Structure 1
Amino acid sequence: MSKSKVLVVGGTGYIGNRIVKASLAAGHPTYILMRRELGYEIEKVQMLLAFKNKGAHLIEGSFFDHQSLVDAVKLVDVVISAMSGVQFRSHNILLQLKLVDAIKEAGNVKRFLPSEFGMDPSRMEHVFECGKETFSDKMVIRKAIEDAKIPYTYISANCLAGYFVGNLSQLGTLVPPKDRVNIYGDGNRKVVYMDEDDVASYTIKTVDDPRMLNKTLYCRPNKNILSHNELIKKWEKLSNKTLEKVYISDKDFLASMKDVDYGFQAALARIYYIYYDGCLMNFEIGEKGEEASELYPEVQYTRMDEYLQRYL
């Protein structure tokens, strides 16, 4: 059976560039939307040209030219949106909705994967007002997809390791702390950590898989379900160094959110949901979803002690 043609929107982004690589590696004819608005963003242009040299097709288009999006979509079988999370804020939600409109008009797409790659927004109805719009916006996009009867797969990747593992989930840094580490609550809530390349591999696996039609893929392989304490112990073992541990109660953490700007409050709120509420592991997947490592056991996913070795 021939491989589906895949269009990646946001192919120069943090997750998007990995999805492009995974698509090419899996042998899919891979197309990347090259936005006319790139202007002088030279690093993105150079990345696109490097992908072109590896066999990707660059398709010029613009979110401000509906027909260009329709024309791009008509070239492929599957569309994957990997636009940055900032694209969901304020009026930029319209960009995703414009893509949905183009897919609906083109009428040929057999699978659409919208830009999520984090917590499942359908399970985040209880969240604080700060940052709530991110989850609400994603649900607006889901509703538009389903109302348009566009075949879909949603990807719930949970905690991307570059943001949550290398820094042991400390705020204000992306590298491990030297001497002391803050632990949220008692540090025993279970969290799911994922290597970004593995998320891309699992994502590409779904595009031709009838088992994932109109379902959510949850990336939560058993070996990567760890408490905060367990993650820190892995780093201490690798680095041969014991960190001073500061336990932060939920009351103190909530109090710390009051004196920061709205954007940082939203980031803190996510830490709260993950480490105090345990929102990543407090539900069963159910019949509308599948777990990635069980569905695709052939993917040799990265364990977090392996991931942490790059920081030594």
Structure 2
Amino acid sequence: MEKSKVLVVGGTGYIGRKIVKASLEQGHETYVLQRPDIGLDTEKVQMLLSFKKQGAHLVEGSFSDHQSLVDAVKLVDVVICTISGVHFRSHNLMMQLKLVEAIKDAGNVKRFIPSEFGMDPARMGHALEPGRATFDEKMTIRQAIEDANIPHTYISANCFAAYMAGNLSQMGTLFPPRNKVVLYGNGNVKVVYVDEEDVGTYTIKTIDDPRTLNKTIYLRPPENILTQRELIQEWEKLIGKQLEISPISQHDFLSSMKGVDFASQAGMGHFYHIFYEGCLTNFEVGDEEEASKLYPEVQYTHMDEFLKLYV
């Protein structure tokens, strides 16, 4: 079967660059949207040029120019959007409504993957404010996609390893502690950690697969379904030392959210749902919805291997 042509919107972003890499590695003709608002960001310009060197096509387009988006979309079969939805960086999820309109007007797209890649927003209607806004916006995008009858796949990638595993799920750092560690509750809630390279690999695997059409696909590699306590134990084995554990109760964690800035409150709310509520693993996923079952050939990175980078 001929491989689909892919347009990545947000290709210079954190997860976008992994998607571009995976698309090229899996042999897809790959286009990356080159937005004029990149301005004088030399790092992003160099990244775009590196994509070009690897065989990707750069295509100009802007969210403020509808026709440019339509023209870009018409070049491909699949559109993957990876623009940021995290409050501590940039939060642009609703811009995707303009992309949905362009896809609708172009009329040629066989699959659209919107920017999600975290918790399944359809299961987060009860989420705490202000972090709930992220899930509500993602559901607004989903509604627009479905109202326009655009073929789609939603990717629930759970916890990015570099943000949530490399630091033993500590807030405010991306490196693992070597002396003291904060434990959420009893630390026994199951969490799903996924290496970002694997997020890219699995995402691209879905785009030509009829089994994933109009479905939510969950990235739950079985060896990476770990409690925070188990993750800490893996790190302790690697460094040959036990950490001093400081548990924080659910009540104290919620109390600590008061008075912090908006972005911190949003992030802490997500941590609450993951580590106290168990929102990533408190429901069953069928084999046809779980990426590692659909694509057993993918040799995904286990978290003990991932943590070795930090020793």
The TM-score bracket by the shorter chain reads: over 0.9
TM-fit CA distance, 1:258: 1.1
| 8 A contact 1:87–1:95 mirrored in 2 | no
Q: Whole-Å Cα distance in 2 between the matches of residues 124 and 41 of structure 1? A: 35
Residue of structure 2 in register with 1:238 after alignment:
238
Residue pairs, 1:81-160, within 5 angstroms: 81-86=81-86, 92-160=92-160
TM-fit CA distance, 1:89: 10
Residue of structure 2 in register with 1:309 after alignment:
308
1:298 aligns with 2:300: no
Residue segments in structure 1 that go unaligned for 5+ positions in a row: none
Residue of structure 2 in register with 1:197 after alignment:
197
* Alpha-carbon spacing, 1:111–1:273, altered in 2? closer, same or farther (3 Å): same
Q: Whole-Å Cα distance in 1 between the matches of residues 92 and 45 of structure 2? A: 22
**How many residues are matched?**
311
Residue pairs, 1:212-231, within 5 angstroms: 212-231=212-231
Alignment-mate amino acid for residue 33 of structure 2: L
- Secondary structure, counterpart of 1:85 in structure 2: coil
* 1:144-170 C-alpha deviation (Å, 9 max, x unpaired): 000000000000000000110111011
Greater mean deviation of Cα atoms: 124-133 or 187-196: 124-133
Residue of structure 1 in register with 2:75 after alignment:
75
Residue pairs, 1:54-73, within 5 angstroms: 54-73=54-73
* 1:41-72 C-alpha deviation (Å, 9 max, x unpaired): 11001000011011000001111000000000
Runs of 4+ in 1 over 6 A off after TM superposition: 87-91
* Alpha-carbon spacing, 1:194–1:109, altered in 2? closer, same or farther (3 Å): same
Alignment-mate amino acid for residue 271 of structure 1: F
Greater mean deviation of Cα atoms: 239-248 or 135-144: 239-248
Percent identity between the aligned chains?
A: 68
Alignment-mate amino acid for residue 35 of structure 2: R
TM-fit CA distance, 1:236: 0.3
| 8 A contact 1:121–1:136 mirrored in 2 | yes
TM-score w.r.t. the length of structure 1 is 0.97
TM-fit CA distance, 1:2: 1.2
* Alpha-carbon spacing, 1:161–1:293, altered in 2? closer, same or farther (3 Å): same
Residue of structure 2 in register with 1:32 after alignment:
32
* 1:273-295 C-alpha deviation (Å, 9 max, x unpaired): 000000000011259x6101000
Residue segments in structure 2 that go unaligned for 5+ positions in a row: none
Q: Whole-Å Cα distance in 1 between the matches of residues 217 and 94 of structure 2? A: 25
Residue of structure 2 in register with 1:2 after alignment:
2
Residue of structure 2 in register with 1:285 after alignment:
285
TM-fit CA distance, 1:126: 1.1
Aligned-residue Cα RMSD (Å) equals 1.6
Q: Whole-Å Cα distance in 1 between the matches of residues 17 and 172 of structure 2? A: 25
Q: Whole-Å Cα distance in 2 between the matches of residues 102 and 238 of structure 1? A: 50
TM-fit CA distance, 1:93: 4.0
Q: Whole-Å Cα distance in 1 between the matches of residues 91 and 303 of structure 2? A: 37
TM-fit CA distance, 1:87: 8.4
Alignment-mate amino acid for residue 57 of structure 2: H
Q: Whole-Å Cα distance in 2 between the matches of residues 175 and 86 of structure 1? A: 19
* 1:244-271 C-alpha deviation (Å, 9 max, x unpaired): 0011110111111112122211111111
* 1:103-124 C-alpha deviation (Å, 9 max, x unpaired): 0000000000000000000000
Alignment-mate amino acid for residue 247 of structure 1: P
Alignment-mate amino acid for residue 31 of structure 1: Y
* 1:187-223 C-alpha deviation (Å, 9 max, x unpaired): 0000000000001000000010000000011001110
TM-fit CA distance, 1:92: 3.8
* Alpha-carbon spacing, 1:94–1:228, altered in 2? closer, same or farther (3 Å): closer
TM-fit CA distance, 1:35: 0.3
Residue of structure 2 in register with 1:11 after alignment:
11
* Alpha-carbon spacing, 1:211–1:69, altered in 2? closer, same or farther (3 Å): same
Q: Whole-Å Cα distance in 1 between the matches of residues 60 and 257 of structure 2? A: 43
- Secondary structure, counterpart of 1:216 in structure 2: strand
TM-fit CA distance, 1:95: 1.4
Residue pairs, 1:174-193, within 5 angstroms: 174-193=174-193
- Secondary structure, counterpart of 1:138 in structure 2: helix
